[in-house]
Amino acid sequence: MDEKDWNAILVLYQEKNISRASERLYISQPALTYRLKNLEKEFGTRLFFKIKGGIEFTSEGLHLVEYSEEMIKKLQKTKDFMIDMQSEVRGTLRLGVSSNFAQYRLPKILKKFSTEFPNVQFNITTGWSTDILNSLNSATVQLGILRGNYEWYGKKALLHKEKLCLISKKEIDLENLPKLPLINYKTDSSLKALINGWWHDRFSEPPFIMMETDRLETCKEMVKNDLGIAIVPNICLQPSDNLQIHELSYKNDEPVFRSTWLMYNQDALKLSTVKNFIDFLLKDPAI
């Protein structure tokens, strides 16, 4: 087996469909089928069987999936360290970043870092913080930037804290909030828990949810058109939004904060690309 075989096995396991797997691998279906048949011939056993709409792996095939995953990790680690042995800072930095942070903060950070370290490339994975945590645990990424509080047994540094805000087109009375139409948006569980915790601290009545959007930016546009109010993290707000903004606090007047964390494993510091990026993030007051 080689790297192409490992990738083919992993992609096929993820897709459970030869047609979709061949598209992701940028090879034809016959070429993928030929490669898989050769693997079955090499190991002298069936690796998968066809079912309606796709395939399922045999127990031997699942063992090969685990092997392929481990070999790709080892190969990537070797490549990282080989590149890092050179005198200048160069290589690919694999980052997993929470979607909101990736949209509102990451581009300027990467631009500034690239100015200092022009030979560093980036491989960026974005998504909800729970997804980024999974990527960290599987070593798919070297560094994670997550929003909210999560258990992590590696290294963890607080990047910044921001306030949670209520936004509206017109001035409103916060005491009447349960009677006003609230616009929800899909987000990760930690932000939902933070919003729900604040609401239950302040009100005994449930919110009047008027609609739910798939994205925070869509929710903001609804608020801009005076279709309702919303509770959002401060990171997504700009002066040009022209909205009424109320920073939220609990009954005891303590502000409602949302934290952004940098997470990584100790071993990652052996790579100069990772160490320099961490140092850059932690010393930059604009983050």
pLDDT by residue (tens digit) across 127-145? 999 999 999 988 889 999 9
Whether the pLDDT of residue 149 is over 90: the answer is no
Residue ranges per structural domain of the chain: 3-82, 93-160+267-283, 162-258
pLDDT at position 72: 87
pLDDT at position 280: 92
Which of 64-68, 180-184, 188-192 has the largest mean confidence?
Answer: 180-184
Pairing assessment for the beta strands 181-185 and 208-213 based on DSSP bridges: parallel
The least confident of 74-83, 113-122, 226-235 is 74-83
Burial class (CB in 10 A: 0-12, 13-18, 19+), 109: buried
| Residue whose C-alpha is closest to residue 264's, from 150, 142, 158 | 142
Q: Which CATH architecture has domain 3-82?
A: Orthogonal Bundle (1.10)
Task: Give backbone dihedrals phi and psi of 129, rounded to 5 degrees, phi first.
Answer: -60, -35
- The reply to whether 93-160+267-283 shares the fold of 3-82 is no
CATH no. of 162-258: 3.40.190.290
